[in-house]
Amino acid sequence: MTKDNYSKDIAHLGLGKATEYKESYDPSLLQSVPRKLNRDAIELIGALPFTGEDLWNGYEFSYLNKKGKPLVFLLQCRVPAESPNLIESKSFKLYLNSFNQTAFASCEEVFKRLESDLSLCAGAPINITLEPVAQSLSHQLIDEPAECVDELDLHFNEYHPNSSLLRTHSRYGKEYLCSHLLKSNCLITNQPDWGSIYIKYEGKLIDHCSLLKYIVSFRQHNEFHEQCVERIFCDILKECSPEKLTVCARYTRRGGLDINPFRSNFEAPYQNIRQPRQ
């Protein structure tokens, strides 16, 4: 098979076309590509001279639980090299993205859907693992470890920024908090942006439940990384009136670049510690 014929066969599969990002579960987004197309081109016919697998690492897999709370996982997908199809990468991304605003009863249900959909696409059984992001990521950018607020069991129903969600207690103190549930969308491409956010402050203690609800409220918001961090800084400053405040975020990499905005009214930027999702 010539390179031109291979390109024509790929084109017939409908690949390379512009596609809107969907945030409701849709397994039809997955696109398989017959391995035979390329193997014929390199005269790889009959019994394979090798064994192996295609190992996919997903750093941004997320869905909602029945309370509307986002859950975020690191995903591994192992596709055996002997499967008749490979999984086309853009369709894989779009498929995973379609879970974002869909509520599921349990992680087990999500796992079974992933396993079934991806096995059907590959044409052979695949192996899936899901690991909660909070178990894998360090909460520490400086010598002081941050307290993660992600385990709070709350109901969520707002997915656009709402600073009025923020509440404070009457007590005064210092805190260094973090959350790995920050998600927004690119203002230009509408692609999802994922990040871990760190908030260090001194003043009236911020109610952790209200803070987590506020962070999650960015989930369907379209704005650049830098603008999101500045919005969060200004909203906390306005609604909670801390005497000192730092807001910084470590965003997942896209196209070989990760952006990590830092804004503070009392301290210098932290050291550049790359996180596992970066």
In sequence order, the 6+-apart residues with CB closer than 8 A to the CB of 137 are 180, 196, 275, 276, 277
Contact 62, 130 (CB under 8 A): no
Contact 149, 176 (CB under 8 A): no
Nearest in space to 101 (alpha carbons), one of 20, 182, 194, 22: 22
Distance CA 253, CA 232 (A): 21
- Of the candidates 9, 26, 107, 186, the residue annotated as catalytic is 186
H helices of 28-106, in order, are 35-41, 89-97
Please report, as a single letter, which amino acid is at residue 61. F
Report in angstroms the alpha-carbon separations of 71 from 33, 130, 152, 241: 30, 11, 12, 30
Active site residue 186: yes
Active site residue 107: no
- Of the candidates 117, 193, 228, 240, the residue annotated as catalytic is 193
- Catalytic positions, written as ranges: 186, 193
